[in-house]
Amino acid sequence: MVQTTNRFFDEVARLMNDAAGVAQGMRREAETLFRTQAERILRDLAVVQREEFEAVKDMARLAREENEALKARVAALEARLAGANAPAGGTGATSAPPGPAGSPGSEHPPTSHFA
């Protein structure tokens, strides 16, 4: 009787092992099916992936930083230009504005706009 009981429990244990393996396989299959359907829906909705979003986010940050630097540079150049065009000494005499930089009669030497 002891041998029969052990064989019975061995069979039950093997059956439970097989059932656990089948359940694991079904779980993997369900996850794969769900993931495939979710990816298809997201692709149809034209939702960007996280990596693409992060790349564009970094590009936007760099563009904002460059824009701020260029704003500061333009403001400095405008201030320099305004200071150079201000009347010196306050003589009160008005005259025609000087010609382009570097032209005859110009007060300013030629400058490069590509510094």
Tell me which of 98 and 9 has the higher pLDDT.
9
Predicted local confidence at residue 115, as pLDDT: 46
Radius of gyration of the chain (CA): 39
Tell me which of 19 and 93 has the higher pLDDT.
19
Output the average pLDDT for the chain.
81
From the CB of residue 101, how many other CB atoms can be counted at a distance below 10 Å? Answer: 13
Cβ neighbourhood burial of 27 (10 Å; 0-12, 13-18, 19+): exposed
The predicted-structure confidence for 37-78, as pLDDT tens digits, reads as follows 998 988 888 888 889 999 999 999 999 999 999 999 999 999
Task: Output the CA torsion 89→92→96→98 (10° steps).
Answer: 10
For residue 98, which of 84, 115, 114 has the smallest C-alpha distance? 84
Tell me which of 92 and 59 has the higher pLDDT.
59
